[in-house]
Structure 1
Amino acid sequence: METTRPAESRVIGLVEGILGRARTEALVAAVEIDAALLRAPSETVSRAELAQALNLLLFDDLLRRVPAGALYVLDRVRRGEKVVHDHGAVRTVLGETGALPAGERALTRVLAPLGYEVGEVYPLDRLGMTGRAWRHRDFPESIAQFFVSELHVDRFSPRFAKSAERVFGASRDPLPAATLAGLEELSAAGELPAETARRILPDLAGAFDRAHRVPALADYERLLEESAEAAWIATEGNAFNHATDRVADVAALSAEELALGRPMKDRVEVSASGRVLQTAYRAAPVERPFVGPEGALVLRPVPGSFFEFITRHRHADGRLDLGFDTSNAQAIFQMTAPVLA
């Protein structure tokens, strides 16, 4: 398969500066990138190019944490195919979050300067959350969307709220002043000097991580009693909850993956319109530290992130349906619910 070498592209050069050549070339071989984003290096980097570079970094990070997803992507590459990264999902807490801006603002202050805007809003009332689909203005079909959800602490019990404040209330801000200034410049100009883009990209990727301290086990368990999603954020923070491959026939893919014994959910979710179909692997189990009753760190197995699959059909006028579906989303979110023995 012919690929563009990192030195020949601003986008891939940015990624190589963080991941190194070997890892970057593996990503290029695995992920479809719009040819318009693979322009030769120059003195400036556009907002779309920086957005694509960030997406590649976050996709790579998720594959490191989700072995089943990494194996799936490797299978695609071995068949001479590429993944079409449709969207990544992140979760935020709308409540007391210390130095970190509350709710989706923790991340949308990064996304908006990169050229993203809200496409649609999705009430996730069964989960006490609201989801928003952030689409890229310049490349809405070929740069991955972000599905950003906010968990509304005030929709839960006072006991829950106290634990949430202890877990999230002293969060740090991962974006230094110089990076925030760079984002302001990007928002105004739509591009940045290449050196500025190289400098701030690691911080932008770092915003998609856990910004709070190791939670107390008692607080984690209290959050889990009312919200598996809040408990997930307590251990994983604002990292990619999942990344998604856009495929031609998700139902056929699901049958193939189940036959291979992969950890696929049993049912394909179909939107009310019938145009958006989704399924997913179950979350990868991970071990995370907690502060135990005596103050010592203890490790516990918890649900990590997962990999999703989506088929998008077109509207009657030929536009690709880039929407989501509230029912689908709430079902997909169950992939990170703990499996009780």
Structure 2
Amino acid sequence: MSQSVNEFFDRLWGNYIEITPSAKKIHQVLGDGSDIINDHVAFRTFNLPGINLSALASFFTDMGYQEKGQYEFTSKKLNAKHFEHVDSTLPKVFMSELKLELCSDALNNIVNRLVAQLDRSLLGDSRFLYSGAHWQVSYQDYLALLEESEYAAWMAAFGYRANHFTVSVNHLKQFKTLQDVNRVLKDNGFSLNQSGGEIKGSSEVMLEQSSTMADKHIVKFSDGERAIPGCFYEFAYRYPQADGRLYQGFVEASADKIFESTHSHTGR
């Protein structure tokens, strides 16, 4: 069953706010009744056949997206790409994958055991991208993954869904700067990611970003339920280039710290 690109993002958003209720509250705080423009949506995956970055990106190229940038996060063992639609009103897509060949045998054994439970017949439908986890995972395995890769642990617990949506600060009517947005968020009780500074980036790199810390969500592990960090909300302010158009790319040093929005509030 094929979906229109607008239907896809509507359903993706619905799935996202089910486990990220703070995003709906932030809409009320920042939107003042107006629509909020989404700058980009991010996805995570493993670099395994059928579910790697290239395979999942085909869903977006089929919807009219084009690859625009490649990124590498050495310390986190990740590759990433970003995609833009020919219709510039649609959100950009940022997709990353964990390079399992750089990870331990123990991590690979757990991940391969999980992915082996996946029904491959589901991979032909874009709804797969918000279908969640297709495997049973124990809390002990989650903790084992967490010791080596928070990214892998998050994937094991949450599977396929938007890791985060992103508010385009440039399009907010009531705010002029990312600093103003952050101040209002904190005044309303939201916790912001402080890794690398509250604001990552600057006018020099044409992009400023901040993000909330992920909402805690109850996950049903095979050996019991636990509340763990799920998804978060990001905020991006883009600066105009020499031609007057807003910069549309991503900054590796900043994105590296945004990944840490799914770490626990205690720093784990």
Fold match by TM threshold 0.5: yes
Residue of structure 2 in register with 1:331 after alignment: 257
Listed one character per residue, the Cα deviations across residues 313-339 of structure 1 (whole Å, up to 9, x for unaligned) are 111111221111111111111010133
Q: 1:306 aligns with which of 210, 213, 232?
A: 232
1:259 to partner: Cα distance: 2.0
Q: Distance in 1 between matches of 2:265 and 2:20?
A: 17
1:106 to partner: Cα distance: 4.3
Is the radius of gyration larger for structure 1 or structure 2? 1
Secondary structure of 2:141's match? Answer: helix
Residue of structure 2 in register with 1:66 after alignment: 20
Secondary structure of 1:322's match? Answer: coil
Q: 2:60 aligns with which of 111, 114, 117?
A: 111
1:310 to partner: Cα distance: 0.5
Secondary structure of 1:315's match? Answer: coil
State the aligned residue count: 257
Asked if residue 88 in structure 1 is aligned to residue 16 in structure 2, the reply is no
Residue of structure 2 in register with 1:258 after alignment: 186
Residue of structure 2 in register with 1:147 after alignment: 94
1:76 to partner: Cα distance: 3.9
Aligned-CA RMSD value: 2.1
% identical equivalent positions:
25
For 1:209, the aligned partner's letter is: S
Q: Distance in 1 between matches of 2:202 and 2:247?
A: 11
Residue of structure 2 in register with 1:156 after alignment: 103
Q: Distance in 1 between matches of 2:189 and 2:29?
A: 14
Listed one character per residue, the Cα deviations across residues 261-299 of structure 1 (whole Å, up to 9, x for unaligned) are 21222411115843111001110001112223xxxxx11
Does 1 or 2 have the higher relative contact order (CA < 8 Å, sep 6+)? 2
Residue of structure 2 in register with 1:279 after alignment: 210
Superposed structure 1 runs of 4+ greater than 4 Å apart = none
Listed one character per residue, the Cα deviations across residues 219-249 of structure 1 (whole Å, up to 9, x for unaligned) are 2222111000100000111210000110132
TM-score, normalised by the number of residues in structure 1: 0.70
> Is the contact made by 2:47 and 2:97 (CA closer than 8 Å) also made in structure 1?
yes
Secondary structure of 2:93's match? Answer: strand
Q: Distance in 1 between matches of 2:121 and 2:159?
A: 12
Q: 1:102 aligns with which of 51, 54, 70?
A: 51
> Is the contact made by 2:45 and 2:160 (CA closer than 8 Å) also made in structure 1?
yes
Secondary structure of 1:261's match? Answer: coil
For 2:119, the aligned partner's letter is: R
Cα 1:272/1:327, change in 2 over 3 Å: farther
> Is the contact made by 2:193 and 2:260 (CA closer than 8 Å) also made in structure 1?
no
Residue of structure 1 in register with 2:174 after alignment: none
Residue of structure 1 in register with 2:173 after alignment: none
For 2:113, the aligned partner's letter is: R
Q: Distance in 2 between matches of 1:159 and 1:272?
A: 42
Q: Distance in 2 between matches of 1:67 and 1:219?
A: 27
Q: Distance in 1 between matches of 2:13 and 2:206?
A: 25
Q: 1:242 aligns with which of 164, 168, 172?
A: 164
- Which sections of structure 1, spanning at least 5 residues, go unmatched? 1-46, 181-202, 293-297
> Is the contact made by 1:271 and 1:328 (CA closer than 8 Å) also made in structure 2?
no
